[in-house]
Structure 1
């Protein structure tokens, strides 16, 4: 069997970029053809990114306005808590949905609920009717959990091993692209508004139009069986088991030791989203919030892609890459929480509204930029970690669903507490600081094993797929058929 495997670099744990041969239909070996551009992993990363931009990216753009662009963040924090509560449910059942309709159509279904939420914010902003915000948030939650789970599985399963980090960075850049575009639109509309308050309703008209395009973008995604990779291997990303089996497998994986150990790491990372967007809404003018939305996206995209290249850098061992990323990201995160604790304690006493012309603006604004960038780095690192825990391609779907479901549960709590004044102003920051400290040791118990007792699981999954393909095309198998 080994003489028919593709060439690989065992020392780095990464498959080579160009394989030597692949099986043909008659069981012989043939040279790999260059992938068609519209079936390539890069094209699919681009389409996945466009879907991310139009759905959660624009959702993030609205959030990055601070409180969904409203004068008070309490209603939007309550709506987001509802969204994430429902996402916990839909994330858990995502593998069942994939079994019914496949990953492509599950992704398209997942885009459908975002637009009604944007419409709810528009109605509330223009007419003051808050019920539509909650209704839109519910629809968003029912679909977004499926979207989150499926897009994560696609991002881990589609790319070649040597492109995994770059694929993650490229894909997640589009989510922040929504924030950048949204911030630019908002900044253009509100550039003269140096007071606290809500943004113009015209901003939401643009957001609604963009989010309505998301399902159509999903139609351009190649289903797993039609993806063409540079290493010639097929993408296996489907669920063929019964619903009962899937639910049991999901439960078993959630309660596994390794996943439970990273739950605090997930919690400290994603709790922060409501914290820094509420911080922005409370202490900055409308145009300063728009500027923050734009610039923070640029900073986060830049640093996220640097991290992606580092995680793919085969000059360093998998062990070194995982540990280096862990110490850097979590070390910086601790520094941000110390900084934030000092600032909000001061702001709670002085109650400022900072505009970019005000003295003292920079100390809080810079913190917001670093917070958003840190969120992106944490997000990418979480995908890297779970990608090194999944044993099979089927388990990739399950562990991504659990990752996204856990994120949703934490964010439901985060946004729910953010609707309480004392938590919005100071309490959530103190709490998140504590979550960061609690997460360090259990996370280290997992991170320290990556590249040691936990080998390169991406590599192992790819080799398992290749062996199955070669076995299915062997002369003995062909004779049996």
Structure 2
């Protein structure tokens, strides 16, 4: 496992770790767009999110085809660009209350969201060695949390003396747009895997463009993988907590309290994610043990949080909101603890998903397809909950639906950890260049080099043979 200090990955532009770091930066400063609008435009914002998530389903499912057609750098650039347009749409909505441009911007971000998350997801899944899967996932999502911290502290500082329940100041939109423009430029520096090499000199993969039709067929074939299909109930609730907690937070708390809760949740998420990474990359344990231990670490507080949440909101009347709670009010401590527990455990659920996906493949092509399938299902689940929330169904029912999918997902991952997860995927797939030290440890050698211009239906192959 890569560690800080002596064994930490070398600081090289063409290092897979630092390419993962760069892709993490692109999602860090895009995924936490400024929310808001006028106080009476909350329903419009909810419908915008339902619209963008519906488009996000398709762009995620096909994002890997775009990725392997134009490359990860341009794909990441286009992914960030849509977020810039979307923040501009929210700013316009905040100023005018008119929804025409915001609806157009929601289409743009729906397309872009699939592109940016497929890019980062396939790098998290496919660039690391098997012993580093947790490190890459934690780094990518940790940077996302860091971006959310920056995105949260800006409105928190601006609104710290404002105890109203009003919208977002213009300074927040301007700041986000400037940051995202810089992020889009950074995305252009993301390299394809055949231009990257590990610290021991090994490559990551040898992949050549195979044509649009072949890429599309490969994508569909990967999405029909039975192992991926049984994980759909795990994928669906992965970001529904953002919808639910955002809605209930706005219903119950004033502006500065909402900002404080959002800010502190992503700050505390980071140390808990580091613990999860140590579990997933604990090489003294077998892979099945690591998968089960990591699942338990997340599943126990996740179940406790959602059961507590259903009890808390069981008597809430969405048509009769209470006086907004301030962080100085009695009872805020309980609200704070539950929000932290719910947010952190729900966020770490995505880490679990990415780790389990990473146990299925080391192939960047399959990894991109799996990342797209996950994001498509995530977007579908989020879109449905946005729609339910716009109908103002009781919070206890909304929380109950989300919890039911989480619980089903826990059972599925327990099954996979016991019966599906393998100790290694090396030597079982095409496209993968096995690290040099793994070849030495297992007694394998390269029997034949990659021949320029030749490819199989799955791409160019680095063929391995067992030493006599």
TM-score tier (shorter): 0.7 to 0.9
Q: Which runs of 5+ in 1 are unaligned?
A: 1-13, 18-33
In 1, Cα distance between equivalents of 2:2 and 2:185? 34
**Is this contact kept in 2: 1:39–1:228, CA < 8 A?**
yes
Equivalence for 1:444: 414
Matching of residue 374 in structure 1 with residue 331 in structure 2: no
Choose 245-254 or 465-474, whichever is displaced more. Answer: 465-474
Kindly tell me: are residues 151 and 353 of structure 1, through their superposed partners in 2, closer, same or farther at Cα, counting changes over 3 Å? same
Equivalence for 2:70: 101
**For residues 424-447 of structure 1, what are the alpha-carbon distances to aligned partners after superposition, in whole Å with 9 as ceiling and x for unaligned?**
x44311211222233333333322
In 1, Cα distance between equivalents of 2:88 and 2:149? 20
Query: What's the TM-score once normalised by structure 2's chain length?
Result: 0.85
Equivalences, count: 438
Equivalence for 1:365: 336
Matching of residue 406 in structure 1 with residue 381 in structure 2: no
Equivalence for 2:392: 421
Query: What's the TM-score once normalised by structure 1's chain length?
Result: 0.83
Kindly tell me: are residues 253 and 202 of structure 1, through their superposed partners in 2, closer, same or farther at Cα, counting changes over 3 Å? same
Matching of residue 41 in structure 1 with residue 13 in structure 2: no
SS in 2 for 1:470: strand
Instruction: Give the one of 33, 40, 54 matched to 1:85.
Output: 54
**For residues 294-321 of structure 1, what are the alpha-carbon distances to aligned partners after superposition, in whole Å with 9 as ceiling and x for unaligned?**
1111011221122112211102211111
**Is this contact kept in 1: 2:37–2:95, CA < 8 A?**
no
Runs of 4+ aligned residues of structure 1 deviating over 6 Å after TM superposition are: 14-17
Distance apart, 1:358 and its partner CA? 0.8
In 1, Cα distance between equivalents of 2:145 and 2:272? 12
Distance apart, 1:462 and its partner CA? 9.4
Q: Which has the higher helix share?
A: 1
Q: Which runs of 5+ in 2 are unaligned?
A: 455-468
In 2, Cα distance between equivalents of 1:448 and 1:388? 13
Equivalence for 1:25: none
Instruction: Give the one of 384, 403, 411 matched to 1:433.
Output: 403
SS in 2 for 1:195: coil
Alignment of 1:60-75 (within 5 A): 62-63=34-35, 73-75=42-44
In 2, Cα distance between equivalents of 1:50 and 1:16? 20
Matching of residue 195 in structure 1 with residue 171 in structure 2: no
In 2, Cα distance between equivalents of 1:353 and 1:99? 49
Matching of residue 343 in structure 1 with residue 312 in structure 2: yes
Equivalence for 2:423: 455
In 2, Cα distance between equivalents of 1:167 and 1:292? 27
Q: CA RMSD in A?
A: 2.9
Equivalence for 1:283: 252
Kindly tell me: are residues 154 and 463 of structure 1, through their superposed partners in 2, closer, same or farther at Cα, counting changes over 3 Å? closer
Equivalence for 2:433: 465
Alignment of 1:267-346 (within 5 A): 267-346=236-315
Choose 277-286 or 87-96, whichever is displaced more. Answer: 87-96
Instruction: Give the one of 124, 127, 132 matched to 1:155.
Output: 124
Equivalence for 2:29: 54
Kindly tell me: are residues 16 and 179 of structure 1, through their superposed partners in 2, closer, same or farther at Cα, counting changes over 3 Å? closer
In 1, Cα distance between equivalents of 2:93 and 2:321? 30
Matching of residue 218 in structure 1 with residue 193 in structure 2: no
